[in-house]
Amino acid sequence: MKYIRTIYVLLFAALVLLWLLTGNLLQTPLQFFPFRSAMINFTGVLAMGAMSVGMMLALRPSRMEPFLGGLDKSYRLHKWLGVTALALSIVHWLWVEVPRWLVGWGMLVKPSKGPKPPQSWLVEWFNLQHGFAEQVGEWAFYAAVVLILLALIRYFPYRYFFRTHRLLALVYLVLVYHSIVLMKPAQWPTALGMVMALLMLGGSIAAVVSLVGGIGRRMRAVGIVDALEYFRDNHVLQVGIQLRDRWMPHQAGQFAFVTFDHKEGAHPFTLSSCWDHRGKLCFHIKELGDYTRTLPEVLRVGQMAIVEGPYGCFDFGGPQQRQIWIGGGIGITPFMARLQALAVQPDGREIDLWYSTAEPDPGFIERLTRLAEQAGVRLHIVFSERDGRLTADQLREAVPQWQEASIWFCGPSGFGKALREGLTECGLDSANFHQELFDMR
């Protein structure tokens, strides 16, 4: 998380600094309307900078994963940028509209404009576009507000989110036109202008790729569902997929986007199997929403599936020879894949695995126990309704060398936050607590 926080802060710090270096604020007279013009420009620059980087992150750039800490962290940064762009856009709109209302109500007097100095034909052409650019920009702003708010509403069905969110790419392209026309001509030859041009160029390319359905296309493989097993007590469906296309060998802990129904779109699921060079993938899918609840009824052996990936940096690496794994609910899946890998090729580490569940399934636990025995990993089962939620104190008591260990957590975010805070308060280096983020919206 610290990497994406750093990137987030550096992005806005750089844009603010570049904007200040253009002299916008220092050269602005101490009058309301010139200051308003500067603030419109300032908020517009920041909002478009945030949207441009967010649009590029939507491409799922796998080469950037090591720098961002994984695609799950990249999507978290994408979300932060979207929310920030929304807030900045609202402030931008208020700076435009509220003074107009005040002038209309007679509470402000708009200063008269003096004669304009001679300008180049290009600037004159852009000036002729101002009215139209303002109009389409306003409507694009309204559309962006609605689409971003829909993306933030967790109860908005995923299949509709999958379709509506792509429309943001079209809205973004309209806002690029709006920004190019209305950005101050004197800013384009500056460092700010060059940076904004590069950001909007990159964002525009990403928007076009999104609109034509090109996101992740090179990472996709076609497969056939060849095995299904339902664990009724914990509402988990095990899905086996035999790939028919080439696939980049994945590491235990990674995930993929899987499409069973084109109308529904791709959903992210953690791989629960290690790579076996035969093109066989396995997923354990928990009934967590309307769509996943239907899978035990609608999925059939022989059905086609499209798998995109692998993604993620939850890789069980690091120099520590002691590791503590915690899987909360369906968060046990990356550890199942790692157990299989260790059974084939041990890494010499001493490992304790906690599986915390509110819905124990005997068959599922038996299989997990067998995998742990084959991998030489100590397994601890916690039934939350009987034993309560696993705490940092319990971990410290069970593993005296906990400060020398790296912690790998996958499960509900609140559960992970409580463990992280409890351990770091007692001396664990926060860099040694690794958490997979399930929330991709």
Structure tokens at 42: 């300032």
CATH for the stretch 322-436 = 3.40.50.80
| Residue count of the chain | 441
| Distance in angstroms (rounded) separating the CA atoms of residues 291 and 158 | 8
CB atoms within 10 A of CB 74: 27
pLDDT for 228-273, tens place per residue? 999 999 999 999 999 998 888 899 999 999 999 988 889 999 999 9
User: What pTM was estimated for this model as a whole?
Assistant: 0.89
Residue 45 has a pLDDT of: 97
CB 340 within 8 A of CB 274: yes
| Distance in angstroms (rounded) separating the CA atoms of residues 293 and 302 | 20
The residue extents of the domains of the chain are 2-211, 220-311, 322-436
To the nearest 10 degrees (0 to 180), the angle between helices 2-21 and 32-57 is: 140
2-211 folds as: Four Helix Bundle (Hemerythrin (Met), subunit A) (1.20.120)
CATH architecture of 220-311: Beta Barrel (2.40)
| Distance in angstroms (rounded) separating the CA atoms of residues 266 and 176 | 28
pLDDT for 81-114, tens place per residue? 999 999 999 999 999 999 999 998 988 888 777 6
DSSP letter for 271, please: B
pLDDT for 183-221, tens place per residue? 988 899 999 999 999 999 999 999 999 999 999 999 999
Strand intervals (E) in 232-328: 236-243, 255-259, 267-270, 280-286, 304-311, 322-328
| Distance in angstroms (rounded) separating the CA atoms of residues 264 and 275 | 27
CB 250 within 8 A of CB 275: yes
Indicate whether 61 pLDDT > 70: yes
| Distance in angstroms (rounded) separating the CA atoms of residues 229 and 363 | 11
pLDDT for 412-432, tens place per residue? 989 999 999 999 999 999 889
| Distance in angstroms (rounded) separating the CA atoms of residues 6 and 109 | 43
Structure tokens at 201: 């160029």
Q: Name the strand (E) or helix (H) holding 140.
A: helix 121-152
| Distance in angstroms (rounded) separating the CA atoms of residues 206 and 330 | 33
| Distance in angstroms (rounded) separating the CA atoms of residues 215 and 308 | 10
